[in-house]
Amino acid sequence: MKTSFKPAANAIAVTLAAAVLVMACGGSAPSSATATKPASEAGHGPDAIKLSDEQLRNAGIEFAVAGPAGIRETLPLYGVIVPNAERVRDVAARYPGVIHAVSRKIGDSVRQGDVLATIESNESLQTYSLTAPLAGVITQRNANPGEQTGEKILFTVADLSTVWVELSLFPRDLPKVRLGQKVRVKVGDGGRQADGTIVYVAPFGSVANQTLTARVLLQNADGSWAPGLYVTADITLSEVSAALAVRSEALQTVEGRTVVFVRKADGVIPQPVQLGRGDSEFVEILGGLAAGERYATKNSYTLKAELGKKEAGHDD
């Protein structure tokens, strides 16, 4: 047991000797707090990136606060946006006749009851109005003044305030999918995203591509989800709570270590972190970061590039 204390005793002796030597030369002995203070506490040194708020904004760098988050297990799928067929109406003439006037064209927005065309009945010679059966957008028009209506569809009106996302589901994944599951739908990498719910799983598959259809109902009040677009989607299979997490886009690699860029009083520093579970949006942090710290999310790679330029300047 005694031998285990000898290094400590020797260290104390060396420290005291150094203190005596400094004092003899007219200096003062360093305090133990200054001697043992880590670089990260004494000032962040050359690793601190000093950028003003305006420079950060101009670079598109955004910050978030580290805290709890849900980590999801997901099933990634591909799909396409289509109109909600329950909110699409075909409009035909009530009585065959001659079209006198047409007041709407393809792409026009209409309210329920708006006049689309006026028609003179062949039998009664009375003129009547053809009106929109619901609010929406004119997606098809097959009506021109002077034409006979016949029995054809004259207009199609689609309410696009909600749309369907039809996902291609392989048979092996069918047991994982059920009605009511949450789905995150995305357009491209880093594009817009929205959350929807599975409202239908087809009971039969497609002979052509050997897949089934899982249908997601998506809110579309602003019209940003246009039918015909291809999308990716993550079906949430399960979710666990992480006490501390950061957004996945915040993670960068510096000198072989995974870091997040943390904002401090004297600049932004790369802070090594230990990772746990993660998904496409959040990653659990097991060490290296405290709850409440502000870290760079969007465009954090810009800070990595800035750090590289800073270090290159020091080498010169």
Q: Residue 50, Cβ neighbours under 10 Å: how many?
A: 11
Q: What's the average model confidence in pLDDT over 252-272?
A: 92
Q: Residue 173, Cβ neighbours under 10 Å: how many?
A: 17
Q: Residue 316, Cβ neighbours under 10 Å: how many?
A: 4
Q: 108 Cβ partners below 8 Å, 6+ apart?
A: 137, 138
Q: How would residue 11 be classed by pLDDT, with cut points 50, 70 and 90?
A: very low
Q: Higher confidence at residue 10 or residue 196?
A: 196
Question: Minimal CA–CA distance to 128: which of 90, 89, 94?
Answer: 94
Q: How would residue 189 be classed by pLDDT, with cut points 50, 70 and 90?
A: low
Of the listed ranges 8-22, 44-58, 190-204, 238-252, the one predicted with least confidence: 8-22
Write down the residue that tokens 């805290």 correspond to: 67
**pLDDT 10s digits, 121-174:** 999 999 999 999 999 999 999 999 999 999 999 999 999 999 999 999 999 999
Q: Is pLDDT above 90 for 53?
A: no
Q: What's the average model confidence in pLDDT over 174-191?
A: 89
Q: Residue 162, Cβ neighbours under 10 Å: how many?
A: 16
Pairing of strands 257-264, 212-219: unpaired
pLDDT averaged over every residue in the chain: 85
User: pTM to 2 decimals?
Assistant: 0.70
As a whole number of angstroms, the distance between CA 67 and CA 246 comes to 7
pLDDT value, residue 8: 37
Q: Is pLDDT above 60 for 45?
A: no
**pLDDT 10s digits, 21-37:** 333 344 443 333 333 33
As a whole number of angstroms, the distance between CA 170 and CA 244 comes to 35
